[in-house]
A and B are shown apart, each in its own frame.
Chain A
Amino acid sequence: MLQTIEAKEAVNEQRKRIHPHKFTLWVALGSIIMMFAGLTSAYVVKRDQPGWTTFPIPRAFWYSTAVILVSSLTVQMSLKAFKDREMMRYRNLLTFTGVLGIVFVLLQWAGFRQIWASGVTLRGSGGGQFLYIIAGLHAVHVLGGIVALLIMVVRAFAVRTRSYNSVPVELISTYWHFVDLLWIYLFIFFMFIN
């Protein structure tokens, strides 16, 4: 507790344009982008080598894409609700976003199972194997977001301390939009490069 107060004070007294935690998040997003850039370039390089195999895009991925798009909308609306001090609405929208996140991960899982059922297992080194890893890592990042959302939801429902500091909500919404965009990129990548 002490440290957080100190950190906040340290932040407050600094001359600042952007909140350091937000800035840190942006740098972290850059770092995550590098990870997926590395993997997708490996995919591109590998694709031109002999023995490449492809995989069918499962129907579940279309649904999951729709779900994560909607969740981006809800997280944005919850941020707006928070800023308007509509706490009830904020809590509900945040919870809903978390539920959509879980649905997204489940749909990804269903998509993996569909691909698996079509005969693409971990054996080999084609598109399917890359997909399991790349989309799997993306799902891990979404799960990280869900954990953060859960913490926020628990905090929002614990009415003891009412905080109107919007930075945490902004952080989670930025991150959530990011994993959304990242999935859109990956989905388009898999569709067109496959």
Chain B
Amino acid sequence: MSNEATVHGHPEVATTHDAQHDEHGEHHHHQSFITKYVFSMDHKMICKQFLITGIIWAIIGGLMSVLFRLQLGYPDAHFKFLEDILGSKWAKGGQIQPEFYYALVTMHGTILVFFVLTGGLSGTFANFLIPLQIGARDMASPMLNMLSYWFFFGASCVMFSSLFVETGPASGGWTSYPPLSALGDASEGSKTGMDLWIVAMALFVVSSLLGGLNYISTVLNMRTKGMSMTRLPLTIWALFFTAVLGVLSFPVLLSGFILLLFDRHGGTSFYLSDIFLASTGKALPNEGGSAILYQHLFWFLGHPEVYIIILPAMGLVSEVMSVNSRKPIFGYMAMVGSLFAIAILAFLVWAHHMFVTGLNPFLGSVFVLLTLLIAVPSAIKVFNWITTLWRGNIRFTPAMLFAIGFVSTFISGGLTGIFLGNSTLDIQLHDTYFVIAHFHIVMGVSGILGMFAGIYHWFPKMYGRYMNNTLAYIHFWVTLAGAYLIFWPMHYEGLAGMPRRYLDYSNWISFNQFGDLNRFISTVAMITFAVQLLFVFNFFYSIFKGRRVMTRNPWGATTLEWTAPIRPGHGNWPGEIPEVHRWPYDYAKDGRDFIPQTEPLGANESAH
């Protein structure tokens, strides 16, 4: 019996159930635990699967950063407990060993970039919001959607298992540049760990592609009646462009990985040439390969990837900001246009990661120009967020605070991007802490703040309960202050030329003046990490014990997801899918606080 038929059969039953927050709602067909919670094809359940997997990864990845910050802040200290936990190979005498340090930073980057801020962020919110906000019962292909999660799960398992192999996980940096990543003899992490890394990433790419295909065709084909493209909430626009970026760039990354795999095991030399390995004392037979080729293939994904991270956050923030300012988003079409411009430019700037690889200076100057062009759409977006706040009737909900925090970090991190986009300045700044500070603030912190904004805002819709506000406020203020206190000082270290990827600067005369600063950063990092655990507690506690949501539309928002029952069943709306009559940002209009998208136009209104 199909859900739809059931619903049409007993609409009034469905409504009563809904009012009582019945777990089963209008959802009468029988589902076992397995089909409901594990191999679910309901986009809302898949969203939760992505979210919780992402949270677990974020804890692991965050913990890694605490470990290597411990080393950077206290290079001379002996933490006996580390040796007890990690064993004498990785933490001999309680000190983090060089190989382990590299493994930590590599896995921290891989996990946070791909498994948290791509899988966790896009996977969660594209799955949750696309069908609910465009008025669809589910994705275009629920089956592919389910597969997308299970490929992600498989990738997660392989990546997680690589932490436990004898030679350790991949440790050649999250970018896995050859020759280091191509030669098993080059380092411990380039052995089994690297193979597992490639396999996990290949699975991850498949997951992203399956998800992305679905998101694109759902947005373009499954919109409800009246939902024209220009009536889409900005979240959907952002998630749509994100999916396009992923679908076009991930396959190229996969190509690069396939060539890498053949270099590792097939004896080819796509990336290898004229190498003498000190560890084995042997000259390798490989000739004619080009390590730069890998960088091109990698960064052709790698740069769009940062927009894959930031665009969903931008979309979430736009929506949260408009709802909580009780004002229409300023410059809706400019917001869409700038998303589009960013999506195009994303493919034309990859070589700015390669300014110091011996790139032709003329080519470099083209990439400088294109890179700096991104400042234009980014500035448009920032301007529009600020003007949305301007004279708004602001409600400082936790989600709103995180959204404002996002704008703050996006500005301060974006400005340093202008420094780094210049090929001449990059000679000094390349591979220094300045780069670390830049991308952590503009991509890492902004991405995660946007994600938090989304979680706090849509949690009531996901679980039918609220998160605790007090804990949320503590979480926000400590996170924002912590993020700045961690990364702001790194700019100074970077300007002074302090390079990244070293585990101990104490014997380096030029940079041991930063010893105290490093200790400060490490301390703040630990506090900030602890506060994230507060969020994790709040999240899981609220799923079961949070205050119940009693009205359908707790935030007074206009978009369609708030017209669905408090705990929607599979199919989202009992009865007909609502029809859309207006754009999603009718706030403070005609003397009314807000007008839902489903309300027909009044007598004096023109279509919009």
A: residues with CB less than 8 A from B are 2-7, 9-11, 13-18, 20-21, 23-24, 27-28, 30-32, 34-39, 42, 45-46, 49-53, 121-126, 129-130, 133, 137
Judge whether B296 is part of the interface by a CB distance below 8 angstroms.
yes
A31 in contact with B300 given A24-B213, A122-B267, A133-B259 (CB within 8 Å): no
CA–CA, A39 and B270, complex, Å = 11
B: residues with CB less than 8 A from A are 1-4, 29, 41, 136-138, 140-144, 209, 212-214, 216-218, 220-225, 247-252, 254-256, 258-259, 262, 266-270, 272-273, 285-290, 293, 296-297, 300, 570-571, 577
Most chain A CB within 10 A, of B140, B272, B287, is at B140
CA–CA, A2 and B138, complex, Å = 13
Are B287's CB and A39's CB within 8 A? Answer: no
Are B41's CB and A124's CB within 8 A? Answer: no
A45 contacts across to B, CB distance below 8 A: 290, 293, 296
Contact partner of B293 (CB less than 8 A), chosen from A10, A15, A46, is A46
Are B4's CB and A49's CB within 8 A? Answer: no
Given contacts A3-B143, A46-B290, could you give 20 more A-B pairs where the C-beta distance is less than 8 Å? A2-B2, A4-B143, A6-B3, A6-B137, A10-B571, A13-B577, A15-B225, A20-B141, A24-B216, A24-B217, A27-B212, A31-B209, A31-B250, A35-B255, A42-B297, A122-B266, A123-B268, A125-B289, A125-B290, A130-B270
Q: Shortest beta-carbon distance, A6 to chain B, in Å?
A: 6
Are B141's CB and A21's CB within 8 A? Answer: yes
Are B217's CB and A20's CB within 8 A? Answer: yes
Contact partner of B141 (CB less than 8 A), chosen from A7, A18, A46, is A7
Are B256's CB and A38's CB within 8 A? Answer: yes
A-B contact count (CB 8 A): 155
A13 contacts across to B, CB distance below 8 A: 4, 137, 577
- Look across to chain B and name the residue whose beta carbon is closest to the beta carbon of A21: B141
Are B213's CB and A6's CB within 8 A? Answer: no
- Look across to chain A and name the residue whose beta carbon is closest to the beta carbon of B216: A27
Are A23's CB and B220's CB within 8 A? Answer: yes
A23 in contact with B251 given A124-B268, A129-B270 (CB within 8 Å): no
Which 9 pairs from chain A and chain B are nearest by CB?
A51-B288, A35-B251, A20-B140, A38-B252, A10-B137, A125-B269, A24-B217, A38-B255, A20-B221
Q: Shortest beta-carbon distance, A131 to chain B, in Å?
A: 11
Are A34's CB and B289's CB within 8 A? Answer: no
Contact partner of B142 (CB less than 8 A), chosen from A7, A37, A50, is A7
A46 contacts across to B, CB distance below 8 A: 270, 290, 293
- Provide 25 A-B residue pairs closer than 8 Å at the C-beta atoms, listed in order of the A residue: A3-B143, A5-B2, A6-B3, A6-B142, A10-B138, A13-B577, A14-B223, A14-B224, A17-B221, A20-B217, A20-B222, A27-B217, A31-B251, A32-B251, A34-B248, A34-B251, A38-B251, A45-B293, A121-B267, A122-B262, A122-B268, A125-B272, A125-B288, A125-B290, A133-B268
- Look across to chain B and name the residue whose beta carbon is closest to the beta carbon of A128: B268
Q: Shortest beta-carbon distance, A76 to chain B, in Å?
A: 24
CA–CA, A74 and B273, complex, Å = 47
Q: Shortest beta-carbon distance, B169 to chain A, in Å?
A: 26
A24 contacts across to B, CB distance below 8 A: 140-141, 144, 213-214, 216-217
CA–CA, A126 and B286, complex, Å = 12
Q: Shortest beta-carbon distance, A82 to chain B, in Å?
A: 22
- Look across to chain B and name the residue whose beta carbon is closest to the beta carbon of A126: B288
Most chain B CB within 10 A, of A2, A50, A52, is at A2
Are B254's CB and A16's CB within 8 A? Answer: no
B258 contacts across to A, CB distance below 8 A: 133, 137
A6 in contact with B570 given A20-B221, A24-B217, A30-B247 (CB within 8 Å): yes
A5 contacts across to B, CB distance below 8 A: 2
Q: Shortest beta-carbon distance, B63 to chain A, in Å?
A: 34
- Look across to chain B and name the residue whose beta carbon is closest to the beta carbon of A24: B217
Q: Shortest beta-carbon distance, A133 to chain B, in Å?
A: 6
Q: Shortest beta-carbon distance, A21 to chain B, in Å?
A: 6
Are A6's CB and B2's CB within 8 A? Answer: yes
Are B255's CB and A39's CB within 8 A? Answer: yes
Q: Shortest beta-carbon distance, A43 to chain B, in Å?
A: 10
Are B29's CB and A2's CB within 8 A? Answer: yes
CA–CA, A32 and B288, complex, Å = 28
CA–CA, A2 and B4, complex, Å = 11
Are B577's CB and A3's CB within 8 A? Answer: no
- Look across to chain B and name the residue whose beta carbon is closest to the beta carbon of A130: B270
Are A49's CB and B290's CB within 8 A? Answer: yes
Q: Shortest beta-carbon distance, B402 to chain A, in Å?
A: 32
A129 contacts across to B, CB distance below 8 A: 262, 268-270
Are A7's CB and B138's CB within 8 A? Answer: yes
A23 in contact with B140 given A13-B577, A42-B297 (CB within 8 Å): yes
B222 contacts across to A, CB distance below 8 A: 10-11, 14, 20
B293 contacts across to A, CB distance below 8 A: 42, 45-46
CA–CA, A38 and B300, complex, Å = 9
CA–CA, A139 and B152, complex, Å = 25
Most chain B CB within 10 A, of A11, A27, A137, is at A27
Q: Shortest beta-carbon distance, B352 to chain A, in Å?
A: 18
CA–CA, A33 and B577, complex, Å = 36
Are A42's CB and B255's CB within 8 A? Answer: yes
B570 contacts across to A, CB distance below 8 A: 6
A124 contacts across to B, CB distance below 8 A: 268-269, 287-288
CA–CA, A13 and B266, complex, Å = 51
Are A34's CB and B213's CB within 8 A? Answer: no
Are B288's CB and A49's CB within 8 A? Answer: yes
Are B251's CB and A3's CB within 8 A? Answer: no
- Look across to chain B and name the residue whose beta carbon is closest to the beta carbon of A50: B288
A123 contacts across to B, CB distance below 8 A: 267-269, 285
Are B268's CB and A125's CB within 8 A? Answer: yes
B136 contacts across to A, CB distance below 8 A: 10, 14
CA–CA, A39 and B142, complex, Å = 31
Q: Shortest beta-carbon distance, A125 to chain B, in Å?
A: 4
B214 contacts across to A, CB distance below 8 A: 24
CA–CA, A7 and B289, complex, Å = 49
CA–CA, A122 and B269, complex, Å = 8
CA–CA, A14 and B217, complex, Å = 13
Q: Shortest beta-carbon distance, A38 to chain B, in Å?
A: 4
CA–CA, A45 and B294, complex, Å = 12
- Look across to chain A and name the residue whose beta carbon is closest to the beta carbon of B270: A125
B270 contacts across to A, CB distance below 8 A: 42, 46, 125, 129-130
Q: Shortest beta-carbon distance, A126 to chain B, in Å?
A: 7
CA–CA, A2 and B41, complex, Å = 10
A31 contacts across to B, CB distance below 8 A: 209, 212-213, 247-248, 250-251
Are B268's CB and A27's CB within 8 A? Answer: no
A16 contacts across to B, CB distance below 8 A: 221
Most chain A CB within 10 A, of B29, B223, B256, B270, is at B270
CA–CA, A14 and B226, complex, Å = 11
Are B254's CB and A20's CB within 8 A? Answer: no
Q: Shortest beta-carbon distance, A135 to chain B, in Å?
A: 13
Are A3's CB and B142's CB within 8 A? Answer: yes
Q: Shortest beta-carbon distance, A41 to chain B, in Å?
A: 8
CA–CA, A129 and B570, complex, Å = 49
A4 contacts across to B, CB distance below 8 A: 143
